[in-house]
């Protein structure tokens, strides 16, 4: 399996509902380091898994929609606890939609087998979503 990875970061504010979250029920900020791995069993005709420049641009653009935002105020997240796990899946779903013919990831991305999205809350804690396409 071949893998191409890109890294970016995003700064957000949010709050959670539910006793499980203790003090995080109050509005608080988070800076996530976001790692995305694009995987394929074979390289494309150009000898790459996916265009790394397009992959980075796509991830950066997607995260820009959330950067410096209070996620509680965004309609797309209405009524949702925007946990690290939830956000990893949300980012995966958005990237999955960009894979394939004519998508922002470019030619050959239709041959991707899987994508893994990791959100690092700190150097000791992170969550991921990893699935086949």
Q: Domains of the chain: which residue ranges?
A: 2-132
pLDDT at 130: 98
pLDDT at 110: 87
pLDDT in tens, 37-68: 999 999 988 999 999 999 999 999 999 999 99
pLDDT in tens, 66-101: 999 999 999 999 999 999 999 999 999 999 999 977
Q: Going by DSSP bridges, is the β-strand pair 28-40/2-14 parallel, antiparallel, or unpaired? A: antiparallel
State pTM to two decimals: 0.96
DSSP classification of residue 104: T
Contact 53, 35 (CB under 8 A): no
Out of 3.30.479.10, 3.30.390.30, 3.30.390.50, 3.40.720.10, which CATH number does the structure's domain 2-132 have? 3.30.479.10
pLDDT at 107: 79
């Amino acid at each position: 399996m071949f893998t191409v990875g890109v890294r970016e970061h995003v700064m957000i504010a949010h709050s959670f509902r539910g006793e499980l979250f203790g003090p995080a029920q109050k509005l608080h900020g988070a800076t996530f380091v976001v790692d995305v791995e694009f995987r394929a069993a074979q390289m494309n005709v150009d000898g790459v898994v996916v265009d790394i420049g397009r992959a980075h641009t796509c991830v950066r653009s997607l995260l820009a929609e959330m950067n410096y935002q209070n996620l509680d105020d965004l309609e797309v997240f209405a009524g949702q606890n925007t946990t690290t796990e939830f956000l990893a899946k949300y980012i995966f779903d958005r990237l999955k939609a960009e894979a394939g013919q004519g998508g922002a990831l470019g030619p050959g991305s239709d041959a991707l087998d899987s994508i893994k999205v990791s959100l690092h809350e700190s150097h000791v804690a992170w969550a991921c979503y990893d699935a086949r396409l």
